[in-house]
Structure 1
């Protein structure tokens, strides 16, 4: 894989799911159901149902893939933070070595969108330079396609083994301390407010007003 400065691939989840992910890996929706694994959902049921009917080039449903994003700071994270609170959300960072696997697929945007291509690993890695450019943006809008493109995915058959996990990101130091109680491991838990659309600092002006 060409070195394009891709630091990692990202999975957005509820903080309560971290122990299960460290134990079993990041599972496809299909495997979660087959193994009857308990988890806390963060997704929109309608969106996930739509993905079940979409097929990858190998004729398998998107439900049979674990999906990772090239950019964690994306519209899905923005939405779940609004719906669930940043205190409940974590971003799991996976080693980019996963992109060397020949059985993965790479998408040019949200895999659910009809305008997105689902590419084989061999073809997809040749498009990574453009994908990197498309996801390396601060904000997005649907009109120019940037909202779809920033959601580019790496689709991994069945599961991402837990040994590929290299870090967990959360919004604040307080959330990091809570996450450490759930994860008795040496995986770094890193507060990164900007990723979670939070200010890097804030100052109390009054009991109810912050700057």
Structure 2
């Protein structure tokens, strides 16, 4: 029976006998090293250095009847074509031996044999090697319906990488219903942060899936440079926010969740229509903060996931919603019409008093989310000074993953 392995050592000078050794041994994991005599070597003995790959028949010594290698030759994985040798390589435990030949070997088998051999191989290797094996397979083997259970056992991101290999080379090609359902199953499982290139490739074949529609929305928001939405609050309110989420004016006041209210009371009567929404700014360095600049060392900025703009019921404005001239929109296309240069400006100063007043209103452009925003949408908490960070971090529960960062550019 043909076998493969690595030379442990061969030849060398025998100091006890004063002659060159004419034998050596082959490493066998989990078994005793296998003896090889010079008479059974079919290649130059000088090539049998430690670690060299060899192929051989398993036989027995004629005198002591112990196992020994026979008909030993060098093994060149890149050139080997004999099915029995490739099978021996495939069945070997060393990935450096079976991985380079796996597709060559499987291509010689029938569909049923491929399935049986792969399942047998996967069950015989360590879990950390299973992904390496599957990733080594050519697409024609990966596409086998019989391997679905194997693919389903992979981490979702790796599973998608495998599915990507199974997609048609032509983006206009027909994706099978089975593969479509498999990919949708992965996406529906709640996977997040798919690699950009992978997402774009798979999205070409299943553009209608909500995940890719959301990614298109993210690209759309990136177009306007919307990295965060901002909500400013007094640090004393953080405990309640991190427990209950961000609540609308109505809900937070009804529940008594606000310890320190920094809102401009004189403006609230003009905002009654929007008291059922949670307000956010595109630019927090606006007149609202300016009027509260004496409290800046006690105010934190919550950096919110801008994807909230895409949620059903979310509105946005081209200025402070307390101002009569402000327009409020629900159509995302209207983001194109907002005066972004003014909204993101560092100052509202202008020689013309009317223009200055208009800039003040525009820089307070808002996003309005109905009722409540979950804690999961808070991506960062920004402080004005480093000394504020320990107190803020202490308020964040262990189960909540929100980073704290100093960003003076958000303040005056």
TM-score category of the 2 structures, normalised to the smaller one: 0.7 to 0.9
Residue 409 (structure 2) aligned to one of 171, 175, 194: 194
How far apart are residue 132 of structure 1 and its match? 2.8
How far apart, in 1, do the equivalents of 2:264 and 2:377 lie?
27
Between 118-127 and 21-30, the greater mean CA deviation after superposition = 118-127
| SS of equivalent residue, structure 2 residue 354 | coil
1:26 maps to 246
Cα distance change, pair 134–35 in 1 and its aligned pair in 2 (3 A): same
Question: Where does structure 1 lack aligned partners over 5 or more consecutive residues?
Answer: 53-60, 198-211
How far apart, in 2, do the equivalents of 1:159 and 1:125 lie?
23
Cα distance change, pair 9–131 in 1 and its aligned pair in 2 (3 A): farther
Q: Deviations over 1:155-184 (max 9, x none)?
A: 111011111000011101001122112224
1:39 maps to 259
How far apart, in 2, do the equivalents of 1:6 and 1:43 lie?
24
Residue 174 (structure 1) aligned to one of 384, 387, 406: 387
2:308 maps to 98
Contact 2:270 2:323 in 1 (8 A): no
Indicate the structure with greater helix content: 2
Residue 77 (structure 1) aligned to one of 271, 289, 294: 289
How far apart are residue 30 of structure 1 and its match? 0.6
2:321 maps to 111
How far apart are residue 37 of structure 1 and its match? 2.3
How far apart, in 1, do the equivalents of 2:367 and 2:278 lie?
8
TM-score scaled by length of structure 1 = 0.81
Contact 2:302 2:378 in 1 (8 A): yes
Between 135-144 and 164-173, the greater mean CA deviation after superposition = 135-144
Residue 373 (structure 2) aligned to one of 148, 160, 169: 160
Contact 2:264 2:288 in 1 (8 A): no
How far apart are residue 115 of structure 1 and its match? 1.1
Count of residue pairs brought into register by the alignment: 185
Structure number with higher relative contact order (C-alpha < 8 Å, ≥ 6 residues apart) = 1
How far apart are residue 131 of structure 1 and its match? 4.0
Q: Deviations over 1:88-127 (max 9, x none)?
A: 1001010011111131111000011111101114454343
Which has the larger Rg?
A: 2
Q: Deviations over 1:14-39 (max 9, x none)?
A: 01111111111111111112323242
How far apart are residue 191 of structure 1 and its match? 0.8
How large is the RMSD of aligned CA atoms in angstroms?
1.6
Between 93-102 and 37-46, the greater mean CA deviation after superposition = 37-46
Question: Where does structure 2 lack aligned partners over 5 or more consecutive residues?
Answer: 1-216
